[in-house]
Amino acid sequence: MASAADLESNQEYGVQPDPAFSNEEGRLCFRFDAEILYVEAWGEDALRVRATCVSALPEKPWALTEKMTTIVKPVVDIKGSSASIINGKIKADISRHGKIVVSNIKTGKVLLEEYARHRLDVLDPKCSSLRIQPREWKPRLGSADYHLTMRFESQDPNERIYGMGQYQQPFLNLKGADLELAQRNSQATVPFMVSNLGYGFLWNNPGVGRVVFSKFTHTWEAYSTDTLDYWVVAGDSPAEIVRTYTQATGRVPMMPEYGLGFWQCKLRYQTQEELLEVAREYKRRKLPIDLIVCDYFHWPSQGDWKFDPTFWPDPDEMVAELKEMNIELMVSIWPTVEKGSENYDEMLRRGLLVRQDRGIRAAMEGRGYAVHYDATNPEARKFVWETAKRNYHDKGIKVFWLDEAEPEYTVYDFDIYRYHAGPNLSVGNFYPSDYAKGFYEGMKATGQEDIVSLIRCAWAGSQKYGALVWSGDIASSWSSLRNQLSAGLNMGIAGFSWFTTDIGGFHGGHPDDPKFRELFVRWFQWGTFCPVMRLHGDREPKQPRHGTTGGSFCLSGGPNEVWSYGEEVYKICEKYLRIREEMRDYTRELMKVAHEKGDPLMRPCFYDFPGDDNCWKVDDQYMYGPMLLVAPVLAPNQKSREVYLPAGKWKGVDSTEYEGPKTVTVDTPLDTIPVFIRQLA
């Protein structure tokens, strides 16, 4: 024990007594001053780290909802002023000053090391006068929450980082990125990353924040929280890491059969007859189609969640005719409720709407200044599902488009809004997960199996609720197409086996414009090799208004069917529609593996070839399952492109055979996307 003289002589550098370590039923506990920290086994080769500065650790699962077990009992070892816990091949050491180092005992590599720069131990090689603690709890004055900053050393300036959800940028490798941890239209924060250094990391905190992956440090922030919560897993391959992660957070259901083919959609079919006539035309042309979409503002008012009989006079007959054609109907759901809705007064009275701490009660500019229903409130989820069930599901509609899932605000002032689960700043990123959960559990309760919901946003774990994420309202441009490739691949690494985009982009694009037709073709070809093939967009020119009531003020975009783009484009679309049909058995098998193991359908090449360094670097091609290597054309007027083929035998679409590893140059005529079939012995 230090003497009074020792303490006095060392006051310049800061002095603290030894902490309290304990083994609490197999989890390692560290206590010092206000902080309580737990490290515990959470699945094979994985640890969950939680800490708080409130009186007791809040027990909130967030993404980690699945029951996890370990084959070998974890080992907790306390040695006076330090301690450790081992679970399989992962180990966490905690020093007397609370610094955590996580390593892989099989390889001897350090995976995570907290960034501490202070003089509490002057013999530490990293002793520093900076006075920086790795876990920084900065109180939010007048609140029980803290601004939390978690800092780790960067183990390698050339580390490669993947996952994290969907951001509108072209980079697959996120090392060097500065990412907002917040939900926006076309941005889906899913804070799980996979490193080429052999670990996966989940920031299990749904609060708004930020992460920076610099060459120097990795810094995670939550702007208002009471808990530090992260999960780390050691793995020998990306597939092993992703499979363990999805075991902990849940895996997608089995995709229903109608998810394997082509989906037709546009903004928006204004009437029942217009939608049916499009479906009939696909059948007259003998074109493959599995599903057609009834987009938004088919309702009288936002928050009614029902068809407007003025424009949709007989939904039962519509559904029946579509089923005769073997076409499913998807219906758009918005979480917005305007004051003119027949449900507004009841939802307000029962506390089922998102609240605001200041300002007027308005979340989205537009007709009625709508607010959102509070998906984090179980009673609100029940009310909305029961309304949708009565007006849609009971009519035979069993697939929903959960739009506006962020939820979208006209002004993203995250600190204004308050949910049943807590302030938006503290829990807001979880909203899309509960939105999907409400419809998933509702359909499940009716006995429906194989559930999929198209949704515009997600958070870690949403995949288990049948969340098919699409990349939101994006530009119709070449740069946007490039961004969606990175978005889809990183979503897959973040646990979302299902992904899709608006083929052709959403904003703009004129079917008669030759330049847009080229972009449309390339996007359509790529969409054939996405988990779900879905055509959508708000094309030019806008169509005349049909009617004067209900949602008629929301004009329809221009034509967006495969025959809308001229004969040359139509023939190419027909070719790829039939290719998609030919792939149905293969895609079904990929969906089965996704459901059972958590593998993404579209994944970076390193997922299947982790030992090939080039596969970690190539970012404009990918694997669609283990057998197909896809190299999209991502620029205009591109007559050829380079493709890297990993080790093994490959066959191109022109039947040319190749032996990898090697880089080849292939022609890219307008009617062809380079695809290579892996030839297994």
**Maximum pairwise Cα distance, the chain:** 94
Dist CA 378 CA 420 (whole Å): 9
Strand 217-225 versus strand 622-624 pairing type: unpaired
Return the closest-CA partner of residue 303 out of 369, 400, 399, 360.
369
> What is d(CA 398, CA 514) in angstroms, rounded to the nearest whole number?
38
State the catalytic residue, choosing from 406, 408, 434, 502. 406
Q: Any catalytic annotation for residue 581?
A: no
Task: Say which residues have a Cβ less than 8 Å from residue 447's Cβ, sequence separation at least 6.
Answer: none
**Secondary structure of 588-656 in HEC code, one letter for each residue:** HHHHHHHHHHCCCCEECHHHCCCCCHHHHHCCCCEEECCCEEECCCCCCCCCEEEEEEEEEEEEECCCC
Residue 341's identity, in one-letter code, is: S
Q: Which residues pair with 209 in a beta bridge?
A: 181, 222
Q: Which of 45, 403, 404, 620 is catalytic?
A: 403
Torsion over CA: 502, 503, 505, 511 (sign):
negative
Q: In whole angstroms, what is the distance from residue 645 CA to residue 661 CA?
A: 5
Residue 353 contacts residue 373 (beta carbons within 8 Å): yes
DSSP secondary structure of 491-520: HHHTT---EE--BT-SB---TT-HHHHHHH
Active-site residue, 403 included: yes
Helices and strands: H and E segment counts in the chain: 13, 37
Chain-centre distance of CA 647, in angstroms? 31
* Residue closest to 267 by CA, chosen among 496, 574, 504, 533: 504
Helix or strand (DSSP H, E) at 139 = strand 135-139
Active site residue 77: no
Given 40, 473, 502, 599, the catalytic residue: 473
Strand-strand pairing, 262-264 and 533-535: parallel
- Rounded CA separation 392/439 (Å): 12
Q: Work out whether the CA dihedral 155, 159, 164, 167 comes out positive or negative.
A: positive
Catalytic residues: 403, 406, 473
